[in-house]
């Protein structure tokens, strides 16, 4: 594990627009991140993952990149980024940046050239197709952000593919010149001293070149394009080439965001023998509270499904690949509002959820504000929402006769703006995030939920996360041990055992607001054990778990 430093690391994701504003324009910035590095150091963070800070028109909060090698002016300058790298390294922390190479902005110079004429040198940097003879787009594919995934361009009388917003045209990875330019851009950043990449929807970059229509599922307007680009035909070839040309030459960490990847896929992507990536983000556990693969079509979480999903990933990758561990990110609602109780048991359930995740094998990711127990937000009017996915979805579901109330309930539960509200630093105006007008409303509970209050309270969620991070450094069983699910069919308790060479742990987490009885075998197993960490007042084994209790026993 000498050069696998990421196996013992804990990563903290910063969503820059919402983190800390020092310029007074209502948007976070890079000097604002530098200002808070000692806070992250105190938490125990090893790696900062920074969502895109590149020059962008901001149609999708920076995931639409206009220039990979310059900085969005409202965030600061390249000099600010160089100082950020220096300041992180001086504190023993590392920086991982977002790599967004499935698509660019339609304002990127490559695309401006590409759309200018069919014989331009950059034409094949993007995916252009003729429409069907009947005048329809090349395929019936739906965009992930609603509507068709094809946009007609009158100048050259062809359609370009955009799996996301129409301002995010997909790059054509079949073109070796495009790939070479991407690799050179990656080297530019690595030579500046960054320590790796989080790769945005990286398993979408290889498209099936036949461009066939997708299946139209019940209640849907467009065909499902997933089978033609998720884990596409040349994906492993492209990643191996990227590794050979770039990643293998640096001591870095790579994580691929991969919707639709199974454990079998993950083994291929993360097995060191294949020379691709260090780990991937899986999405399966994030889809368990939805119906038919539609994130907006809500259903209650069945804890047995969640347990069996984690079990599958923990066991499948053990000894061959590597897991990432996360509850939250910029695309997911706040976990304490989702799988916990963000009112009566907010603090306790946030600690329990952290316990459950951080005792597993893998690299844990903490999303800004998670360590404070920040919650979802309910904005009063649709126009207060900023997320392009949410706004497009509202129109699409309205066309499918969903009522306003049903759509709003889905937004309250799953909308991406839940994660994007400004970081709550203090009980001062705008939660201490900005002196200006915040780009997105601050959650009104900032007066009680904020970093200043957490740092002043030794029993806060912040210090609980700090303790979990320390335990990962101290006990190898957390990083290397085997995983065994206990109390499999219990609808309220997530219990598992980790077994290492010299020690073993039993992790007990109550996902309900009721006191629950433990299985006799589990009670027997913890009798002689000591308490390693708990969110409850207990120092020895009992036969029950209190509401939202999370306790780890060590042998």
Q: Could you tell me the two tokens for 481?
A: 């041990």
Q: Could you tell me the two tokens for 197?
A: 């990449």
What's the pLDDT band for 335 if we cut at 50, 70, 90?
very high
Domain ranges of the chain: 5-104+176-210+245-466, 482-554
In whole angstroms, what separates CA 310 from the centre of its chain? 16
Q: Could you tell me the two tokens for 157?
A: 């009388």
What's the pLDDT band for 207 if we cut at 50, 70, 90?
very high
- 3 state SS of 425: coil
For residue 159, pLDDT over 90 is answered with yes
C-alpha distance across the termini of the chain, in Å: 25
Q: Which helix (H) or strand (E) holds 497?
A: strand 493-499
Is the Cβ–Cβ distance between 143 and 163 less than 8 Å?
A: yes
Nearest to 336 by CA among 259, 419, 459: 419
pLDDT digits (tens, 9 = 90+) for 496-509: 999 999 999 999 99
Q: What percent of the chain has pLDDT over 70?
A: 100
> Assign residue 64 a region: left if phi > 0, alpha if psi is -120 to 50, beta otherwise?
beta
Instruction: Report the C-alpha gap between 334 and 417 in whole angstroms.
Output: 10
Q: Could you tell me the two tokens for 367?
A: 């999303």
For residue 433, pLDDT over 60 is answered with yes
What's the pLDDT band for 460 if we cut at 50, 70, 90?
very high
pTM: predicted TM-score of the whole model, two decimal places: 0.94
Please report, for residues 48, 92, 166, 423, the alpha-carbon distance to residue 382 in angstroms, rounded to integers and kept in the order given: 32, 43, 22, 21
Other CB atoms within 10 Å distance of the CB of residue 101: 26
Task: Please report how the helices 263-270 and 303-317 are oriented relative to each other, as an axis angle in degrees rounded to 10.
Answer: 30
What's the pLDDT band for 319 if we cut at 50, 70, 90?
very high
- Choosing among 3.90.228.20, 3.20.20.80, 3.20.20.150, 3.30.70.260, the CATH entry for 5-104+176-210+245-466 is 3.20.20.80
Which phi and psi (to 5°) does residue 198 adopt? Answer: -100, 120
Which phi and psi (to 5°) does residue 327 adopt? Answer: -110, -35
What's the pLDDT band for 482 if we cut at 50, 70, 90?
very high
pLDDT digits (tens, 9 = 90+) for 66-79: 999 999 999 999 99
Catalytic residues: 200, 257
Highest mean pLDDT: which of 76-85, 372-381, 387-396? 76-85
Is the Cβ–Cβ distance between 535 and 512 less than 8 Å?
A: no
Q: What angle do CA 449, 450, 453 make, to 5 degrees?
A: 95
- Range 482-554: architecture per CATH: Sandwich (2.60)
pLDDT digits (tens, 9 = 90+) for 8-61: 999 999 999 999 999 999 999 999 999 999 999 999 999 999 999 999 999 988
Residue located via tokens 């054990």:
529
Please, what is the average pLDDT of the chain? 96
Looking at the chain, the number of H-run helices and the number of E-run strands are 17, 22
Nearest to 411 by CA among 492, 317, 295: 295
Nearest to 13 by CA among 41, 38, 45: 45
pLDDT digits (tens, 9 = 90+) for 240-254: 999 999 999 999 999
Give the model's pLDDT for residue 1. Answer: 45
Nearest to 203 by CA among 148, 272, 277: 277
The DSSP bridge pattern shows strands 47-50 and 94-99 to be parallel
């Amino acid at each position: 594990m000498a050069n696998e430093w990421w196996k013992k690391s804990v990563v903290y994701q910063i969503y820059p627009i919402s983190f800390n504003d020092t310029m007074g324009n209502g948007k976070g910035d890079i000097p604002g991140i530098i200002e808070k590095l000692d806070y992250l150091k105190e938490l125990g963070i090893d790696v900062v993952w920074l969502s895109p800070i590149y020059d962008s028109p901001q149609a999708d909060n920076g995931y639409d990149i206009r220039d990979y090698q310059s900085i969005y002016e409202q965030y600061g300058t390249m000099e600010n980024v160089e100082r950020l790298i220096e300041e992180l390294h001086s504190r023993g922390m590392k920086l991982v940046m977002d790599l967004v190479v499935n698509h660019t902005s339609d304002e990127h110079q490559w695309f401006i050239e590409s759309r200018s004429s069919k014989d331009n040198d950059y034409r094949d940097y993007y995916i252009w197709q003729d429409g069907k003879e009947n005048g329809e787009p090349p395929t019936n594919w739906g965009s992930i952000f609603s509507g068709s995934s094809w946009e007609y361009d009158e100048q050259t009388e062809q359609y370009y593919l955009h799996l996301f917003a129409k301002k995010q045209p997909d790059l054509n990875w079949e073109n070796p010149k495009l790939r070479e330019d991407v690799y050179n851009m990656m080297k530019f950043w690595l030579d500046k001293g960054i320590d790796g990449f989080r790769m945005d929807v990286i398993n979408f970059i290889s498209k099936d070149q036949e461009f066939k229509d997708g299946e139209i599922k019940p209640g849907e307007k467009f065909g499902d394009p997933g089978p033609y680009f998720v884990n596409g035909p040349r994906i492993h070839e492209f990643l191996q080439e990227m590794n050979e040309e770039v990643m293998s030459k640096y001591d870095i960490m790579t994580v691929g965001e991969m919707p639709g990847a199974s454990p079998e896929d993950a083994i291929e992507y993360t097995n060191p023998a294949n020379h691709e990536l260090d780990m991937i983000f899986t999405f399966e556990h994030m889809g368990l509270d939805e119906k038919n693969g539609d994130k907006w079509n809500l259903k209650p979480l069945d804890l047995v499904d969640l347990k069996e999903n984690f079990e599958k990933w923990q066991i499948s990758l053990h000894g061959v690949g590597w897991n990432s561990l996360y509850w939250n990110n910029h695309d997911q609602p706040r976990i304490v509002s989702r799988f916990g109780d963000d009112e009566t048991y907010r603090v306790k359930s946030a600690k329990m959820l952290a316990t459950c995740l951080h005792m597993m094998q893998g690299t844990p990711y903490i999303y800004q504000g998670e360590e404070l127990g920040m919650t979802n937000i309910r904005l009063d009017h649709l126009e207060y929402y900023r997320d392009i996915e949410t706004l497009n979805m509202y129109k699409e579901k309205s066309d499918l006769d969903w009522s306003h109330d049903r759509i709003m309930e889905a937004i309250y539960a799953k909308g991406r703006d839940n994660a994007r509200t400004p970081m709550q630093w203090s009980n001062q105006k705008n939660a201490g995030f900005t002196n200006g007008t915040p780009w997105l409303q601050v959650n009104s509970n900032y007066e009680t939920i904020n970093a200043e209050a957490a740092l002043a309270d030794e029993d806060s969620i912040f210090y609980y996360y700090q303790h979990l991070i320390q335990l990962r450094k101290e006990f190898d069983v957390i990083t290397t041990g085997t995983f065994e699910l206990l109390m499999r069919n219990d609808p309220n308790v997530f219990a598992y055992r980790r077994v290492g060479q010299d020690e073993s742990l039993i992790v007990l987490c109550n996902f309900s607001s009721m006191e629950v009885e433990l299985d006799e075998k589990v009670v027997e197993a913890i009798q002689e054990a000591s308490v390693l960490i708990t969110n409850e007042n207990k120092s020895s084994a009992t036969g029950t778990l209190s509401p939202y209790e999370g306790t780890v026993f060590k042998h």
